[in-house]
Amino acid sequence: MLALLPFLAGMKVGVSARFFFAMNFKAILEKIEVLLSPILESLGFELIEREYAFEHGRWILRLYIDHEEGPISIADCERVSRVVEAELDVADIMPGPYSLEVSSPGIDRPLRRPKDFERFQGKWVSVQTLFPIDGRHHFARVQLKKIQEGKIAVQDGDKEWIIPLEAIKKAKLKENL
């Protein structure tokens, strides 16, 4: 069924079809994370984010890696790419041909796990929520104050907002100005 996705990419499909495809993408990404996280950790890296997208007529698997020792180098990306490519070939998770891209998370590093929020306390972040928190969905540039009991506290001017982790759709570091 996933082999039909490139064909269906340009077609209008119903909500149920989009939901089915989204569920398969989610399952693929979860399998990739389960397979690759321990491998990357053994190399001294962590998997920050993963994307699987159809762009410019081809499937792309993007992996964003990081480590606490400093910036990610091109050599780091090349090393991880060689190891990951071999592991993905053996595991046969991918539904068809794809291009692998390994990159650093960059300045706007995604924050997904509780340990990400712990590591970057005091930094400036951007947060989007799945549902309104006191009438607000988007916190464009707020300071991450703390994480506690499955919630983060962010400061925007004089107001502190408490956001449950499960309510976060997307969170990223923002460059300190």
pLDDT of residue 161: 93
The CATH code for residues 114-173 is 2.30.30.100
CATH topology agreement for domains 11-103 and 114-173: no
pLDDT tier at 12, thresholds 50, 70, 90:
very low
Per-residue pLDDT tens over the stretch 70-114:
889 999 999 999 999 999 999 988 888 999 999 998 888 899 889
pLDDT tier at 120, thresholds 50, 70, 90:
very high
Contact between residue 151 and residue 136 where contact means Cβ atoms under 8 Å apart? no
The stretch 132-151 carries a mean pLDDT of 93
Domain assignments of the chain as residue spans, ordered by start: 11-103, 114-173
> Is the confidence at residue 175, as pLDDT, over 80?
no
Average pLDDT, the chain: 85
Q: What is the pTM of this model?
A: 0.72
pLDDT tier at 26, thresholds 50, 70, 90:
confident
The stretch 43-65 carries a mean pLDDT of 92
SS3 track for the chain: CHHHHHHHCCCCCCHHHHHHHHHHHHHHHHHHHHHHHHHHHHCCCEEEEEEEEEECCEEEEEEEEECCCCCCCHHHHHHHHHHHHHHHHHHCCCCCCCEEEEECCCCCCECCCHHHHHHCCCCEEEEEEEEEECCEEEEEEEEEEEEECCEEEEEECCEEEEEEHHHEEEEEECCCC
- Lowest-pLDDT range of 8-12, 100-104, 164-168: 8-12
The CATH code for residues 11-103 is 3.30.300.70
Rounded to whole angstroms, the Cα distance separating 71 from 62 reads 18
